[in-house]
Amino acid sequence: MNESIDRLRSHFGLTLAEARLAFHLVAGETLRSAAVKLGISYETTRSSLKNIFKKTETCRQAELVIVILTALPPTVLKRAFRLNSAAGRFVESRK
């Protein structure tokens, strides 16, 4: 996950906190669940998301996910996520 975070930071000029939040959103989490997992308030995640939108020149979460997935090479994504076949969605790799 660190390589993905670093790439997001360098490519879009995100702070560490913003990159972590963006990564959780790409993984399919809601803003509320990302806030819980990151240990920050929902209001803080909303504020961070607004900053992420400005830096990535997006205005919707779906658009943000597409932009990030396009910016990260597939090899980085495969290392960062693994497909949870039971749930049918990507989950963060703990390796």
**Domain assignments of the chain as residue spans, ordered by start:** 2-92
Tens of pLDDT, residue by residue over 52-76, are 999 999 999 999 999 998 888 766 6
Cβ 53 vs Cβ 64: under 8 Å = yes
pLDDT at 35: 96
The fold for domain 2-92 equals: Arc Repressor Mutant, subunit A (1.10.10)
Q: What mean pLDDT, rounded, does the chain reach?
A: 82
Cβ 81 vs Cβ 27: under 8 Å = yes
Please state the rounded mean pLDDT for residues 2-31. 90
pLDDT at 82: 56
Q: Is 32 exposed, middle or buried (0-12, 13-18, 19+ CB in 10 A)?
A: exposed
The answer to pTM > 0.85 is: no
Tens of pLDDT, residue by residue over 74-86, are 666 665 555 443 4
Token pair in block for residue 9: 């930071």
